[in-house]
Homo-oligomer: A and B are copies of this chain.
Amino acid sequence: MSTGSAAVIGGGVIGGGWAARFLLNGWNVKVFDPDPEARRKIDEVIRNARQSLPMLYERSLPDEGELGFAMSVAEAVDGADYIQESVPERLGLKRKVYAQIESAAPDVPLGSSTSGFKPSDLRMGLDSGARLFVAHPFNPVYLLPLVELVSGGGDSGILESASRILTSIGMRPLVVRAEIDAHIADRFLEAVWREALWLIKDDIATTGEVDEAIRLGFGLRWAQMGLFETYRIAGGEGGMAHFVEQFGPALAWPWTRLMDVPELTPELVKKIGDQSDAQSEGQSVRELESLRDRNLVALLRALKREGSAAGRVIADHEANLGGEDMGRIPMITVRRMVPSDWTDYNGHMNESRYGQVFSDAADAVLAHVGAGPDYVSAGRSFFTVSTKIDYLLETHAGETVQVVTRVLLGEGKKLKLRHELRRASDGSVLATCEQFLLHVSLESRKSCDPERPVGDAIKALADAHGQLAFERTGESSQS
């Protein structure tokens, strides 16, 4: 999927998140928001996104697109390949915006971030209404992959096209087949929010206690399996049917207060605000955002390693990012941002992560010569016998680094690599590594010569890399 131009109408927390996700995936973005503060607010969201989204991947994202601010809706949508509306949740306002979009760009896919309205409500009175759909994201839009797509009788070709676009910027479209108020996820959020308000109002729990009750227990289950598969397990060997039979009757018990809505009196609003202040212990919203984004990066990376849930979405997107150009001499084997979970208490990249980067660099060489995961599945592999790492300069989370690799020796079962880890911004060498690998048979666990094409490819690299001084890398170098 190639990149394009996106128009973002409405530049609040959600619109800013959309802008950031498109930009960091290489799209150009034009924003329209009449708020004079919009530019500052969007810049803050994009700054957060730059320090977190690239950390999800072990490869580089495309070069960032260009961000522009338009003076009108018409100017923003002019030439756009995709339009996303995220203005406040007032039906009249949304319809007014759609009318302006219609006269300037009647054919472009138009998604609405609405958390509650149905597409058939939104498109009422529009000639171009069939290309309008709900594309409901979750905050922070640049990190959470879910987007609910609701067509509600709109153009199915447009919805498919939108689905491809959203997938190409790392999201996971969940197509909601029937339109209902609040789609799917927000119905759950609404139900929990009501119950939580009762607990606060009745002094059963504080806001902080409610959050603990969620994040130390079922929140962890829901981050990786959701509701039904969790309960399937809880049913034990009897499975889902057993669980429903066991748990079902409790539904009729008077456990929840949800039949009734607590009145949001000034007293209740103040109580919630005060408890929330106490819970956050003086941390600003900006600090909480950073904390949230660090946590989400850590959780998403953890799930990615396991290939589960949201982590699988990240991994799929990464697979489409494309690797480095391995045909260059010397080879660039790794190019990536140092993620926040790689730092130690000194605040710089933990020494073991240097080892990881060099291990990834070796994997890139092996994949390039045809000795990647498929080769391993077929019963052959290179095992690392020894590594010698020299640590030269410190590096920190958020920096982009790359590894320049040379094949020093490639003879029979022996493979020797030399890597340089460099800071991408100025080319300074952060660490060097000499790595000795042996080719083994995974059945006999003994060393042996590699398959013919692999051996030949390694030999060709060793010959090519031997020809040139290691320093001629095309990168500036601090010596």
Footprint of B on A, CB under 8 Å?
Answer: 12-13, 41, 89, 116, 138-139, 144-146, 148, 172, 174, 176-178, 180-182, 184-197, 199, 202-205, 207-230, 232-237, 239-241, 244-245, 247-248, 250-259, 261-262, 264, 269-270, 272-273, 275-277, 279-280, 285, 288-289, 291-292, 294-296, 298-303, 305-306, 308-310, 313, 341, 344-346, 350-356, 358-359, 373, 376, 381, 383-391, 442
**Nearest-Cβ distance from residue A240 to partner chain B, whole angstroms:** 4
Cβ of A242 to closest chain B Cβ, rounded Å: 9
Inter-subunit contact B219/A226 (CB<8 Å): yes
Whole-angstrom distance between the alpha carbons of A264 and B249 in the complex? Answer: 9
Cβ–Cβ contact A204 & B219, under 8 A: no
Q: Which residues in B have their C-beta under 8 angstroms from that of A223?
A: 215, 219-220, 222-223, 299
Bound complex: CA A351 to CA B41 (Å): 43
Q: Assess the A244–B258 pair: CB atoms within 8 A.
A: no
Given contacts A220-B296, A222-B223, 12 further A-B contacts (CB under 8 A): A116-B250, A148-B213, A184-B209, A187-B256, A211-B225, A219-B223, A219-B224, A229-B276, A239-B285, A302-B302, A346-B381, A354-B355
Given contact pairs A190-B251, A229-B280, A256-B187, A245 touches B269 in the complex (Cβ within 8 A): yes
By beta carbon, the residue of chain B nearest A249 is B264
A216, B285: Cβ atoms closer than 8 Å? no
Assembled-state Cα–Cα distance A377/B386 (Å): 34
- Is there contact, CB below 8 Å, between A225 and B255? no
Query: Given A176-B205, A351-B384, do A225 and B232 touch, yes or no (CB 8 Å)?
Result: no
Q: How far is the CA of A378 from the CA of B349 in the complex (A)?
A: 20
Task: List residues of chain B with CB within 8 A of the CB of A226.
Answer: 210-215, 219
**Given A202-B178, A295-B306, A295-B309, do A214 and B188 touch, yes or no (CB 8 Å)?**
yes
Q: Could you name 9 residue pairs across A and B whose Cβ atoms are closer than 8 Å?
A: A139-B234, A144-B221, A177-B203, A187-B257, A193-B247, A225-B295, A239-B273, A298-B305, A306-B341
- Chain B proximity of A430: nearest CB distance (Å): 13
Give bound CA distance, A241 to B199, whole Å.
17
The distance in angstroms between the C-alpha atoms of A217 and B186, with both chains bound, is: 10
Q: What is the chain B residue whose CB lies nearest that of A357?
A: B352
Q: Are A12 and B195 in contact (CB under 8 A)?
A: no
Point out the residues of chain B lying under 8 angstroms from A139, CB to CB.
Answer: 233-234
Q: Please, how many angstroms separate the alpha-carbon atoms of A356 and B350 in the complex?
A: 8
Q: How many copies does the complex hold?
A: 2
Are the C-beta atoms of B385 and A386 separated by less than 8 Å?
no
Does the CB pair A210–B184 fall under 8 Å?
A: yes
Contact: B174 with A212, CB < 8 Å? yes
Question: Which residues of B have CB within 8 Å of A301?
Answer: 302
Least CB separation from A343: chain B residue: B305
A217 in contact with B138 given A176-B205, A226-B211, A288-B229 (CB within 8 Å): yes
Query: Would A233 and B352 count as touching, CB distance under 8 A?
Result: no
CB of A109 to closest CB in B, whole Å: 21
Partner of A300, one of B177, B220, B232, B355: B220
Cα distance A423–B446 in the bound complex, in angstroms: 21
Q: Find chain B residues with CB under 8 A from A196 CB.
A: 188, 227-228
Across-interface contacts of A220 in B (CB, < 8 A): 144, 223, 296, 299-300, 310
Residues of the B chain whose Cβ atoms lie less than 8 Å from the Cβ of A345: 373, 376
Is there contact, CB below 8 Å, between A285 and B227?
no
Question: A275 contacts which chain B residues (CB < 8 A)?
Answer: 228
A390: chain B residues within 8 A (beta carbon): 385-386
From A171, which residue of chain B is reached at the shortest CB distance?
A: B216
Considering the chains assembled together, what is the distance between the CA atoms of A442 and B354 in angstroms?
Answer: 21
Contact A351–B387 (Cβ < 8 Å)? yes
Task: Assess the B174–A228 pair: CB atoms within 8 A.
Answer: no
Given A228-B210, A391-B384, the answer on whether A285 and B235 have CB atoms closer than 8 Å is yes
